[in-house]
Amino acid sequence: MGIYLPIAEISVNVFVLLAMGAAVGFLSGMFGVGGGFLITPLLIFYNIPPAIAVATGANQVIASSVSGVLSHMKRGTLDFKLGSVLLAGGVIGSTGGIYVFALLRRVGQLDLFISLLYVILLGTVGGLMLVESINALRATRSGAAPVLKKSGQHNWIHRLPLKMRFRASKLFVSVIPVLGLGAGIGFLSSIMGVGGGFIMVPALIYLLKVPTNVVIGTSLFQIIFTSAYTTLVHATTNQTVDVMLAFLLMAGGVAGAQYGAKAGQRLRGEQLRALLALLVLAVAIRLAIDLFVTPPNLYSLSGVGLY
Amino acid sequence: MKGLKALAAIVFLSFTAAVPATAQTPLAEGIQIGLSTDAVSITAGFSGADLTIFGSLENPDPLVARQGRYDVIVVLEGPPKPVVVRRKDRVLGVWVNLDSETFENVPVSYSVATTRPLQDITEPNSYKQLSLGASNLYMQPADAGDSPATIEEFTAALRERKAAAGLYSENVGGVQFLSQNLFRATVRLAPNVPVGTHKARAFLFKSGLFIKESSAQLEIRKSGFEQSIFRVAHDYSFLYGVFAISLAMVTGWLGRLVFRKD
């Protein structure tokens, strides 16, 4: 069944989009990530113009983050204060990101920049995760107890000034890295259409030493607002948010997420991380190939002020 | 068909009646086209269509008409817009948009219908002068200081891309004479036909010589639910953004209600 997307201005198959949303929802339920980093490249592979894929991806991330946050709020695994400081940084980063986004679009380098960012970030995160999970798998196989990092360990980040106390996270840390992290995620959110959970979660755990149980809830909490802000700014400055497209993805995603969460319970943590790492790497490689393979058309047209 | 013949007969009669008055200098030939409507609405599922334009020759020379030496070219030209053409080149193995050329006032779409193949109607030079036909259309570069070779290369790429997108098309034989002076032209509207004011132009040639041109305007609009969304997204973009966010939040919340597992 074909449907015409009003903003992307192309006809697409409803079932492909629902399936895409459901598949990504399944994975995001399984791995506890927002799924934006999968949705946006998939949309680009499906010939949605990258500018629209990014803005719509940000919109879609809101839906999956809201349902995630609701369950974390119930369990009390959410640090509102930490989330709010991250959010303040996020708004700054996101504003800068939108400006860069519009600039790149004007000079015709947006598509390239989006692909490059995806390849670099997904490649790095996927590679690190794969190494870490394979080591963990080896360790459990050889019977050795996994080495856990203690949350009391200090690094250079804890020597920065302007310290602030975050009670729910049992944390006393400078606001500078928190704001900086928020700003970085906000920047990526507006340029890549991702919530940034796949960077936020490891950064909170390894850099700020936030206890793992509050990390996902807090990251999701701030992602809702960062992506909402990103969506709003994209809608007003670039008119690239396609609600029809976003809604189809959300509908599929919300349904897929529960089955994913169920399936995730049957797999062990390291196996889950190794699978996610492989998936992330696969997306990165696919995008990288497109950068290097000779395109069928060397010339492209774009309107002035249009995509 | 009977009605058309009758109409042709009336026109012919009026033509013969006019002859004695200007016996020495026959009336100049002219061309007129008429559109049944001045606006066309296309819906979201629009998958392309043929647009029929009727027209007539004024004061045709019956002898020339009988020999088929009148030729008509009908063009439906989309609204002019500036366009940037970019070329990808390899930088460290990666394909990057490097060179670009901006053209002013490029018709977004350009579909041509002709009585015969373009090369049979008149000289390449007169097409150039008239800026007629997708391959003769004059594209004005924004920066005239660029080298002619570059401009030529990007102009060719622009035409090729437009043709590949179905926006520049040619329909040879798309203009048919229904009688000595009545003709019907069929021009293609591509599925991605741009909205805006289109211009229908008809060119009359006699034995390879350009005689006259006439034009009419046609408004192409999109209608339907999807178009309303598009308009809201552009005219009330802030409210649209708020709506998009609310929709996502409600969907997320409903999803949690419907599918909750804890």
Does A299 reside within a domain?
Answer: no
Does A306 reside within a domain?
Answer: no
Tell me the mean pLDDT in the region B55-75.
86
Give me the residues of A, 198-227, that contact B with CB < 8 A: 224
Q: Decide which of A90 and B18 is more confident.
A: A90
How many CB pairs lie under 8 A apart between chains A and B?
Answer: 173
Q: Decide which of B17 and B84 is more confident.
A: B84
pLDDT for the residue numbered B22: 44
pLDDT for the residue numbered B234: 85
Give me the residues of A, 116-145, that contact B with CB < 8 A: 116
Which residues form the domain of A30? 2-292
For residue A202, the tally of other CB atoms under 10 A from its CB is 15
B90 with B219, same domain? Answer: yes
B223 touching chain A per CB within 8 A: no
Where is average pLDDT lowest: A67-76, A84-93, B73-82, B85-94? A67-76
B257 with B194, same domain? Answer: no
Tell me: pLDDT of A148 over 60. no
Report the residue of chain B nearest A2, measured CA to CA: B45
Tell me the mean pLDDT in the region A127-134.
86
pLDDT for the residue numbered B3: 41
Does B20 reside within a domain?
Answer: no
Tell me: pLDDT of A22 over 80. yes
pLDDT for the residue numbered B11: 38
Question: 3-state DSSP call for residue A88?
Answer: helix
Structure confidence by residue, pLDDT tens digits, A213-227: 777 778 888 888 888
B260 contacts on A by Cβ (under 8 Å): 71
Structure confidence by residue, pLDDT tens digits, B162-175: 888 888 888 888 88
Most confident of the following: A164-173, B27-36, B43-52 = B27-36
Please indicate whether, in this complex, the C-beta atoms of B230 and A251 are within 8 angstroms of each other: no
Tell me the mean pLDDT in the region A101-125.
85
B125 with B253, same domain? Answer: no
Does B257 reside within a domain?
Answer: yes
Does A148 reside within a domain?
Answer: yes
Please indicate whether, in this complex, the C-beta atoms of B161 and A301 are within 8 angstroms of each other: yes
B233 contacts on A by Cβ (under 8 Å): 6-7, 235, 239, 241, 243
Cβ burial B219-244 (10 Å sphere, 16+ → b, else e): ebebebebbebbeebeeebeebbbbb
Pick from A254, A300, A301: CB nearest B255: A254
B82 with B192, same domain? Answer: yes
Does B15 reside within a domain?
Answer: no
Interface test with chain B among A3, A4, A247, A248, by most B beta carbons within 10 Å: A4
Query: What separation in angstroms does the CA of A7 have from each of A61, A98, A245, A290, B228?
Result: 18, 18, 9, 25, 11
Mean pLDDT rounded to a whole number for chain A: 80
Tell me: pLDDT of B17 over 50. no
**Tokens 């088929």 label which residue?**
B68
Does A236 reside within a domain?
Answer: yes
Q: How far is B127 from chain A (nearest CA, A)?
A: 25
Where is average pLDDT lowest: A131-135, B15-19, B32-36? B15-19
Q: pLDDT band at A259, cuts 50/70/90?
A: confident
Q: pLDDT band at B13, cuts 50/70/90?
A: very low
Does B34 reside within a domain?
Answer: yes
Tell me: pLDDT of B249 over 70. yes
ipTM of the complex: 0.81
B254 touching chain A per CB within 8 A: yes
Does A307 reside within a domain?
Answer: no
Q: How many domains does chain A have?
A: 1
Give me the residues of B, 146-175, that contact A with CB < 8 A: 154, 157-158, 160-162, 164
Q: How far is B8 from chain A (nearest CA, A)?
A: 44
pLDDT for the residue numbered B242: 93
Q: Decide which of A55 and A145 is more confident.
A: A55
List the CATH number of the domain containing B171.
Answer: 2.60.40.10
Tell me the mean pLDDT in the region A48-56.
87
Tell me the mean pLDDT in the region B219-234.
82
Does B214 reside within a domain?
Answer: yes
Q: pLDDT band at A258, cuts 50/70/90?
A: confident
Please indicate whether, in this complex, the C-beta atoms of B242 and A257 are within 8 angstroms of each other: no
Q: pLDDT band at B226, cuts 50/70/90?
A: confident
Q: How far is B97 from chain A (nearest CA, A)?
A: 7
Q: Which has the closest alpha carbon to B70: B186, B181, B187?
A: B181
B234 with B261, same domain? Answer: yes
B42 with B137, same domain? Answer: yes
Where is average pLDDT lowest: A166-175, A223-232, B55-64? A166-175
B86 with B202, same domain? Answer: yes
Mean pLDDT rounded to a whole number for chain B: 80
Which residues form the domain of B173? 29-223
Q: Decide which of B88 and B14 is more confident.
A: B88
Please indicate whether, in this complex, the C-beta atoms of B45 and A59 are within 8 angstroms of each other: no
Does A305 reside within a domain?
Answer: no
pLDDT for the residue numbered B5: 40
pLDDT for the residue numbered B243: 93
Instruction: Give the whole-number percent of chain A exceeding pLDDT 70.
Output: 90
Does A31 reside within a domain?
Answer: yes
B247 contacts on A by Cβ (under 8 Å): 243, 246-247, 250
B95 with B110, same domain? Answer: yes
Distance CA A53, CA B180 (A): 55
Distance CA A90, CA A96 (A): 10
Does B64 reside within a domain?
Answer: yes
B244 contacts on A by Cβ (under 8 Å): 59, 231, 235, 241, 243, 246
Tell me the mean pLDDT in the region A220-237.
86
Distance CA B228, CA B223 (A): 7
SS (H, E, C) A169-203: CCEEEEHHHHHHHHHHHHHHHHHHCCCCHHHHHHH
Q: How many domains does chain B have?
A: 2
Interface test with chain A among B87, B251, B253, B254, by most A beta carbons within 10 Å: B251
Q: pLDDT band at B33, cuts 50/70/90?
A: confident
B142 with B214, same domain? Answer: yes
Tell me the mean pLDDT in the region B41-53.
79
Q: How far is A176 from chain B (nearest CA, A)?
A: 29
B208 with B243, same domain? Answer: no
Query: What separation in angstroms does the CA of A164 have from each of A153, A159, A160?
Result: 18, 12, 11
Does B189 reside within a domain?
Answer: yes
B89 with B42, same domain? Answer: yes
Largest pairwise CA distance in chain B? 98
Q: pLDDT band at A164, cuts 50/70/90?
A: confident
Distance CA A139, CA A54 (A): 39
B178 with B131, same domain? Answer: yes
Cβ burial A286-304 (10 Å sphere, 16+ → b, else e): ebbebbeeeeeeebbbbee
Q: pLDDT band at B7, cuts 50/70/90?
A: very low
Tell me: pLDDT of B36 over 90. no
